[in-house]
């Protein structure tokens, strides 16, 4: 666990341990939840499908393709529950495979219109 104050910057780094230097790491989705085992009911999207959903989210330079660095401001869901759990989904791709998910960036899914 990490202990931070509300609105304090929280810095994260993910690193892929592999002997293959031609791999790229991409942050696809990061979701926060007040409970550690449910990331579908009460959640807050920080980034989803490569699209930034939190205005405090920022990426940082990484000297390696197989490392990602980012930050966002710490928050809480409600005052009675000061804990926030994160679940992030990262994608591993071949470097320079521009048709792979890592190079597509934000995938905005269009909402379907409800039929009458």
Ordered by where they begin, the domains of the chain are 9-96 (2.60.40.4100)
| 110 pLDDT tier (thresholds 50, 70, 90) | low
* pLDDT for 54: 93
pLDDT category at 112 given cuts 50, 70, 90 is: low
Please give the Cα distance from 44 to 71 (Å, whole number).
15
pTM, two decimals, is: 0.83
Residue 116 predicted with pLDDT over 50: no
The per-residue pLDDT for 2 is 81
Got the DSSP string for 29-93?
EEEEESSTT-SSSS-EEEEETTEE--TT-EEE--SSTTEEEEEEE---SBTTB---EEEEEEEEE
Please report where in the chains the tokens 């379907």 appear, as a residue.
112
Q: Per residue in 47-83, pLDDT tens? A: 999 999 999 999 999 999 999 999 999 887 766 677 8
């Amino acid at each position: 666990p990490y202990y931070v104050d509300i609105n304090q910057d929280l810095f994260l780094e993910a690193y892929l341990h592999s002997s293959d230097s031609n791999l790229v790491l991409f942050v696809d989705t990061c979701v926060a939840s007040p409970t550690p085992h449910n990331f579908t009911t009460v959640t807050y999207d920080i980034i989803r499908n490569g699209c930034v959903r939190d205005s405090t989210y920022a990426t940082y330079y990484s000297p390696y393709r197989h490392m990602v660095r980012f930050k966002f401001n710490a928050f809480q869901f409600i005052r009675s529950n000061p804990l926030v759990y994160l679940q992030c989904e990262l994608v591993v791709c071949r470097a320079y495979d521009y048709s792979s998910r890592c190079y597509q960036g934000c995938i905005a899914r269009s909402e379907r219109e409800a039929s009458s």
